[in-house]
Structure formats: structure tokens, C-alpha cells
Amino acid sequence: MEFEKDNSFFTGRMKSIGYAVKGAIKLITTEHSVMVQSSLAVLMIIAGFYFNISREEWMMQILAFGLVLGIESLNTAVEKVADFIHPEYHEKIGFIKDIAAGAVMFAAMAAIAVGLLIYVPKMM
């Protein structure tokens, strides 16, 4: 089966958006780490309204959880491709997966720092 490329700007972009939404829904409904991180993002949004955070704080918060969810999505893709290529444990595949998980950790640490900088002063 051969796929025909859609050269129309509008319909091509709409198809791309459709694929992206489908992927986001798959991530949120099947990946536990994304479920947890999405739930934390919702809690942070609620906290933002509760504490009436500033425009700049909203921007930093949105950027922080967008970064975490984006990196987690890439990590999940790396893991799925690695498992598809080499389903059994392999030291080199494990190394690659660990590096991708480390990237998520860096993003999460930055998001935690942003959250602390925004909310700790408001709770004092």
C-alpha cells in the first residue's frame, strides 16, 4: 500500500494536526508516566488560578510542563522503537533508553524548580 502525499497546504496541515492529536490521545490514555505528568499539569493550572499567578508565571509554568510532556513523549517514542527493534534485553538498547529517561529527569527537575519558584513564595 502506497501513501500519496498531500501537497495542498491546508489539507496537509489538517492531516498533520490530526496525526498529532491522535498521538497525544494515545500517549495520555496508554502511558502511565504521561498520565501522571498530565494530571500534575492540570493541578498546576488549578493552582495557578487559585494563587492568581502573574502572566510571566503562567508563561514559565506552561513552558515547564510543555517541556516535560514533550520530552516524555520523545522518550516514549525512543523506548517503543528500541523495543520494536530489539524486544529482548540488550545492553546497548538499555543504555539508549536510560539516556532518554535521563532527559525526562532533567526536564522534570527544571519544572519542579519553576513550580517551587512560583508557589513557595505564595504559600509563605
* Confidence (pTM): 0.84
CB 55 within 8 Å of CB 69:
no
Helix (H, G, I), strand (E, B) or coil at 105: helix
Select the more confidently predicted residue: 11 or 58: 58
| 34-46 confidence digits (pLDDT tens) | 999 999 999 999 9
Q: How far is Cα 76 from Cα 69, in angstroms, rounded to an integer?
A: 10
103 touches 68 (CB < 8 A): no
